[in-house]
């Protein structure tokens, strides 16, 4: 349980990130879209590891204005990720969990959506000067990062470690999926700036 002073520090670490999230709440066509807030218990702008999922899940979306992109969210995906993160030894203050596509996408994800997510990732990485590794969960997040690196003129080169998405839909190989998630996070925790 956080003390009020610790919580104030936690909030300060994500204040500028939440201002960034507010800019993403307006779509290019001017419409408002759902974007959760950043987790105040994460490493915020001091995070060494960026954990990148695909897009906000149904449980996060259901939380509406109180939504936070967090391992504490209800649902099996957050629970599977949290179990892997704890087993890996990656401290909560060392990482920031976010989505390649920070906003809700009600339909199928198109290449144009991934490209828009790539631009959002570029802006996010500029706000995270301490990031030493990115762990992607699922093919959409990995595709977005792999498009960011060669297409962004000022791309920041950091190691990328891919893991299967922790969704129950990927349950066919659940034990392997968990081991790969734990190992990806463990490797990211060991990264040191060169």
pLDDT given for residue 194 in this prediction: 40
pLDDT given for residue 125 in this prediction: 97
CA 128 to chain centre: 12
| Global confidence as pTM | 0.89
pLDDT given for residue 11 in this prediction: 58
Residue whose structure tokens are 């349980």: 1
Cβ atoms of residues 17 and 63 within 8 Å: no
pLDDT given for residue 32 in this prediction: 86
What is the rounded CA–CA span in Å between residue 78 and residue 188? 19
**How long, in residues, is the chain?**
194
DSSP character at residue 75: S
pLDDT given for residue 170 in this prediction: 63
pLDDT given for residue 6 in this prediction: 43
Residues of the chain with pLDDT under 70: 1-12, 62-64, 169-173, 192-194
Domains of the chain from N-terminus onward: 4-190 (3.40.470.10)
pLDDT given for residue 132 in this prediction: 96
pLDDT given for residue 179 in this prediction: 93
User: pLDDT by residue (tens digit) across 130-156?
Assistant: 999 999 999 999 999 999 999 999 999
Nearest CA-CA partner of 62 in 104, 23, 30: 104
Torsion over CA: 166, 167, 171, 172 (sign): negative
């Amino acid at each position: 349980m956080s003390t009020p002073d610790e919580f104030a520090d936690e909030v300060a670490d994500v204040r500028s990130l939440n201002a960034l999230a507010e800019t993403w709440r307006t779509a290019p066509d001017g419409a408002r879209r759902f974007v959760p807030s950043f987790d105040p218990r994460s490493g915020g702008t001091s995070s060494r590891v960026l954990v990148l999922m695909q897009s906000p899940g149904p449980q996060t979306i259901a939380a509406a204005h109180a939504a936070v992109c967090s391992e504490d969210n209800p649902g099996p995906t957050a629970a599977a990720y949290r179990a892997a993160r704890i087993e890996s030894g990656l401290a909560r203050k060392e990482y920031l969990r976010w989505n390649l596509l920070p906003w809700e996408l009600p339909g199928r994800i198109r290449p144009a959506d991934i490209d828009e997510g790539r631009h959002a990732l570029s802006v996010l990485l500029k706000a995270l000067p301490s990031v030493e590794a990115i762990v992607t969960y699922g093919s959409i997040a990995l595709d977005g990062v792999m498009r960011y690196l060669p297409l962004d003129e000022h791309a920041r080169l950091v190691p990328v470690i891919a893991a299967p998405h922790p969704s129950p839909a990927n349950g066919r190989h659940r034990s392997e999926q968990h081991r790969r998630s734990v190992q990806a996070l463990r490797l990211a925790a060991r990264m040191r700036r060169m």
